[in-house]
Amino acid sequence: MKWLNIFRKNESVLSNLSRKIFENSLLCAESLKPDLEVKYGKDSKEFHSKYIPVLFEFMYFFLHLTNRSAFDLLGQEKRIKLQDELGPLVVDTSIATIFGHWPQNLRDGIKRDFYQNLNDAEIEYSSCKELLLKPKDDTPTLDKITSGKKSKSLVGQLVDNLSQIIEGEINMDICFTIKIWDVVIAILKKKEIDPLVLKVSKEMKLTP
């Protein structure tokens, strides 16, 4: 997809990690695109008002997973150093790629909102101890409806957030849940993030 081309201009390991985060997020968002087009109309204003936030939510998710990987492999201090370099690269390149034709003041506003939402998502996802939980071990749907609680797993919380973006309410569609599980787990099974984090740490001289 043409949005990936700009990420290929820089061949540093850090840029490769940044591209992988965007690539994975885009792959996940594209899996939902046909349903969004049917629901809201192809290339409609309503479609784009849903698709872009969906793409961004996947980016928050994969950025968080990268932060977890960096913490596990490098420790807190080095994780912060990597995050300080990676975050702005992902955000700036993504916004330039998607909204490069927009006026600067609008791009600046999108960037501010992205960082705020990213920080909020980081706090929420950090509360999850498990990647995935069986429904019987997770937050009951009734609790989600009555108290606004979210899933206790990372992928479950991703599903909750995506449902709020698309439907404005807690997800009740098991097919939607399974679709998100399938696309995310398929990516995670490739185990691409940990090796890239280690390569970036060496490039940034974060490891001996």
Q: How does pLDDT run across 10-54, given as a tens digit for each residue?
A: 578 999 999 999 999 999 999 999 999 999 998 899 999 999 999
> How far is the C-alpha of 15 from the C-alpha of 11, rounded, in Å?
6
Name the band, by pLDDT with cuts 50, 70 and 90, for residue 2.
low
Mean pLDDT over residues 63-84, rounded? 94
> How far is the C-alpha of 6 from the C-alpha of 9, rounded, in Å?
6
User: Is the pLDDT confidence value at 83 over 70?
Assistant: yes
Q: Evaluate whether residue 5 is within a structural domain.
A: no
Name the band, by pLDDT with cuts 50, 70 and 90, for residue 141.
confident
Task: Show Cβ contacts of residue 22 under 8 Å, excluding neighbours closer than 6 positions.
Answer: 3, 4, 7, 59, 90, 93, 94, 97
Q: Evaluate whether residue 190 is within a structural domain.
A: yes
Q: What is the pLDDT of residue 63?
A: 97
User: Is the pLDDT confidence value at 207 over 90?
Assistant: no
> How far is the C-alpha of 118 from the C-alpha of 134, rounded, in Å?
26
Mean pLDDT over residues 94-112, rounded? 90
Q: How many domains does the chain have?
A: 1
Q: Evaluate whether residue 3 is within a structural domain.
A: no
Name the band, by pLDDT with cuts 50, 70 and 90, for residue 4.
low
User: Is the pLDDT confidence value at 7 over 60?
Assistant: no
pTM of the model: 0.92
User: Is the pLDDT confidence value at 197 over 80?
Assistant: yes
Residue type, 5: N
Q: Is 130 helix (H, G, I), strand (E, B) or coil?
A: strand
Q: Evaluate whether residue 2 is within a structural domain.
A: no
Which of the pair, 43 or 113, is modelled with greater confidence?
Answer: 113
Name the band, by pLDDT with cuts 50, 70 and 90, for residue 173.
confident
- Give the chain's mean pLDDT: 90
Q: What is the pLDDT of residue 146?
A: 87
Q: Evaluate whether residue 4 is within a structural domain.
A: no
Percent of the chain with pLDDT over 70: 94
Mean pLDDT over residues 79-100, rounded? 91
Supply the range of the domain harboring residue 152.
11-203
Q: Evaluate whether residue 208 is within a structural domain.
A: no
Q: Evaluate whether residue 6 is within a structural domain.
A: no
> How far is the C-alpha of 153 from the C-alpha of 115, rounded, in Å?
23
